[in-house]
Structure 1
Amino acid sequence: MATVSTVDLEPLAVRAAAPTDLPALPDGVGLTWRALTPDDLPAWFALCEVVEDHDNANERAAESELADHFKGAWRDPARDSVAGFDADGTIRAYSWSEFRQVTEGTLAPTLFGAVHPDYRRRGIGRALLAWSEARGRQQLAAATVNLPARIRLYLDESHADARRMAETVGFTPIRWYVDMRRDLGVELPAGDVPEGLRIEPYSKERDEDIRIAHNESFARDHWGSSSIDAEAWALDVVGGEKFQPDWSFAAVEEATGRVVGYLLSGAYDQDWGPQGFTEGWTDVLSVRREWRGRGLAGALLTAAMRAYAAGGMQYAGLDVDTDNPTGALGVYTRLGYERRLGSLLLTKEI
């Protein structure tokens, strides 16, 4: 991924055009607005379940994953989230702008939220999007480094109404992603490991080496990615309830002991019922530049497939940026992965 020069960038505090006050949220819709707290988790999760079922979402949230949004020194739910409660205390809508400052790459708050189906067509979704975008601009304006920046919004490809609303207020589709799956009942590839390397199961002893490899390969070479510090890695990558260390692997250079590739997996069992099959999910896969083109990615994926199958999974799954410069889409297709669903990223470039 090419490095963007910051020499000619206006100060981010200027580019962000952050408002002093966040926009007002709708009155007269039967909702009271306040920030989310950990005590709201059951009600928040209940809303997510209703919305995801109604919208046939590509991925479903687990309550433990929602709880993770209240962890981490960089998160500030009291300022970054808002939810609408009805007279019975039921959450009917929410929005969140989540932001972690980095020191290189791109600064990028991510917006997410939902409105209960019974409360749609009242201007609530548009108001929440405006609120979270404004909060994202405030987050960027307060950043202590001057880097390229964007405000991000990820949507399922099938969610045409949400996309239309976002585009109406100036968000632009910029990247497309494909969810793929591979039938584990079909003969698996040989998965030959390149000479000079060995593939090891994930271990805590290798964890920091894997994080460093991530920052020096995936974060630098994959569009829109940034480095991740030890706290965020421990919380969001290998510390979640869904992370599966037994399905995760590191490729180690035998001569040096250096990690040159890795694959991290999760078991998102909340998705299995709605999608109709069990699946081992590849969360992150990367190979250092000097080892690309030698079959290492395929060897790591094959090791993961074997682990998924041994765990009783029917399919291996992953998603990929269709413009991935490493040729990942072709690698996956050759290994037998097939397209299942699509999603996209819309942004406002700052």
Structure 2
Amino acid sequence: MTESTLAERVGAASDPALPTHPDIATWRTATVDDVDAVHAVLAAADAVDHPTWTTPREEVAENFALSHVDPARDILLAFAPDGSPVAAGSAMRHPSLDEHVHVNLIGAVRPDWRGRGVGARLFGWQHARAEQQLAEVGGADDPAAHLPGEIHVYAGEKDAALERIGTTHGYRTERWFSTMHRDLREDVPELTAPAEIELVPYSADRAEDARLARNDAFRDHWGSLPSPSERWQQFVGGAFLRPDLCTLALDVSAGGGDRIVAFCLASVNEGDWEVLGPHAYIDLIGVVRSHRRRGLAPLIIARSLAAMRDAGLGMAVLDVDTESPTGANALYGGLGFTAYERDRVLVRRY
């Protein structure tokens, strides 16, 4: 908590003016009918920036559907004279107001429109909207208004343009995340669960238990905030989660209540198979704090890797905080994962 409010720290933050650019025919905020326009820009950018994974249309639609997102204020589009979308960006504040107020920026410029300064104009609007979102939190007597504020944007290691633009707005690289691959043709270790632990695949009736376990496990992770029910249901009830490839560790000891104490949740998006071939993405790995240092993490990962192999997949992919205090990098390396590429997290704090 701070004595000053976010509004005082941010300063004047009115509705950001729409950008101007000589090559852009129209800048406007989004409507619910713009899911395809935003997805078209992101898909074109994905193919160049990180061809091993793409942004599913479903993910864009989910963002539009979130109750705390207002497309008319939080999402911006730029259109060429021929009416095609060439840039899209958003500023979305996380609904949690526990430890800090967090806004995430996502944006892209179509590759054939880069190098003209469109991205700088887009980012300027996103930054201004993010500051406005911070300043709008609570009133002077609301404890949330006195929380620290931060704005995050992810940039690929080779994305010098975004790093440069972010730097001009006061953002600094605070963390690196590494994408790691694991060849499933290599032997998967066979590990035995302790007597008080039962390993089971994910099932929909465990959705809330899994959310609570996730929030406990990630409470001390850098940049993490509790996952709200709405967003969690989009994830576990979406088109890509593969329950058969997921692993839950249940505490079946006396008094354990069969609660989830560790989890490995994985998804499959066949739209990403063109470059890497058939593979699964491990979205979340976690152990609740009361059950750490019992060997549960390698146990649940090994079971999920075996399930992926048995399902005919050739590779597992995950992302990890390179400075994770949990020792995740060494854990994944010991299970056969190798680093492939990195992303930086640019942060502006208030």
- Alignment TM class, shorter chain as reference: over 0.9
> Aligned-pair distance for 1:319?
0.7
Q: Which residue of 2 aligns with 1:234?
A: 233
Q: Which residue of 2 aligns with 1:298?
A: 298
Q: How does 1:23-172 map to 2 (within 5 A)?
A: 23-57=17-51, 59-144=53-138, 145=144, 146-172=146-172
Quote the residue 1:337 is aligned against: 337
Q: Distance in 2 between matches of 1:188 and 1:30?
A: 52
Distance 2:59 2:172 in 1: 28
CA distance in 2, matches of 1:190, 1:18: 59
Q: State the TM-score, normalizing by the size of structure 1.
A: 0.92
Aligned equivalent of 1:221: 220
1:267 CA drift (Å):
0.8
The reply on whether 1:268 has 2:262 as its aligned counterpart is no
In 1: Cα distance, 2:53 partner to 2:346 partner: 18
Which residue identity does 2:211 align to in structure 1?
R
Q: What one-letter code is carried by the residue in structure 2 that aligns with 1:216?
A: D
Q: d(CA) in 2 for partners of 1:18 and 1:224?
A: 26
Distance 2:270 2:62 in 1: 17
Once residues 78 and 277 of structure 1 are traced to their aligned partners in structure 2, the CA distance between those partners, rounded to angstroms, is 38
- Give the structure 1 partner of residue 141 of structure 2: none
Aligned-pair identity (%): 33
Q: 1:245 to 1:94 in 2, by over 3 A?
A: same
Q: Please report how far the alpha carbon of residue 49 of structure 1 lies from its aligned counterpart in structure 2 after TM superposition.
A: 2.3
Retained in 1: the 8 A contact 2:41–2:88?
no
> 1:58: how far off?
5.3
| 1:58–1:156 contact (8 Å) kept in structure 2 | no
* Rounded Cα–Cα distance in structure 1 between residues aligned with 2:61 and 2:9: 32
The alpha carbon displacement at 1:64 in A equals 1.5
**Whole-Å Cα distance in 2 between the matches of residues 147 and 270 of structure 1?**
40
Alpha-carbon offset, residue 178 of structure 1: 0.7
What letter corresponds to residue 238 of structure 1 in structure 2? V
Residue identity in the other structure for 2:309: A
- 1:245 corresponds to 2:243: yes
Between the aligned partners of 2:89 and 2:45, the Cα distance in structure 1 is 13
What whole-Å deviation, never above 9, does each CA across 1:239-276 have from its counterpart, x for those lacking one? 32222222112111112222111111111322221x33
Q: Which amino acid aligns with 2:339?
A: R
1:29–1:314 distance in 2 versus 1, CA, 3 Å: same
Q: Equivalents in 1 of 2:6, 2:52: separation in Å?
A: 34
Q: Which moved more, 1:66-75 or 1:34-43?
A: 34-43
SS in 2 for 1:271: helix
Distance 1:194 1:78 in 2: 52
Equivalent pair of 1:213/1:261 in contact (CA under 8 Å): yes
SS for the counterpart of 2:319 is strand
Q: Which amino acid is the alignment partner of residue 270 of structure 1?
A: G
Larger CA deviation: 114-123 vs 103-112: 114-123
Superposed displacement of residue 167, structure 1: 1.8
> Structure 2: which 5+ residue stretches go unaligned?
139-143
Q: Return structure 1 stretches of 4+ with deviation > 6 angstroms.
A: none
Deviates more, 1:317-326 or 1:80-89: 80-89
Alignment partners' CA distance in 2, 1:262 and 1:345: 25
Give per-residue Cα distances to partners, 1:270-291, cap 9 Å, x unaligned: 2221x33221111011101232
CA distance in 2, matches of 1:310, 1:12: 51
Deviates more, 1:249-258 or 1:42-51: 42-51
C-alpha distance in 2 between matches for 1:221 and 1:84: 38
Contact 1:23 1:130 in 2 (8 A): no
Shift of 1:57: 4.7
CA distance, structure 2, for counterparts of residue 331 and residue 83 of structure 1: 41
Q: What's the C-alpha RMSD, in Å, of the aligned pairs?
A: 1.7
Counting matched residue pairs gives 341
Report the Cα distance in structure 2 between the residues aligned to 1:348 and 1:58, rounded to whole angstroms. Answer: 29
Q: Deviations over 1:28-74 (max 9, x none)?
A: 22320112233233333222222222334553111111111111211
Separation in structure 2 between the aligned mates of residue 319 and residue 253 of structure 1, nearest angstrom: 27
Residue 297 of structure 2 aligns to a residue whose secondary structure is helix
Aligned ranges 1:146-225 → 2 under 5 Å: 146-218=146-218, 220-225=219-224
Q: Point out where structure 1 has 5 or more consecutive residues left out of the alignment.
A: 1-5
The question of whether the paired residues in 2 share the 8 Å contact of 1:57 and 1:156 is answered with no
For residues 89 and 241 of structure 1, what CA distance do their matches in structure 2 show? 31
Deviates more, 1:206-215 or 1:49-58: 49-58
Moved more, 209-218 or 48-57: 48-57
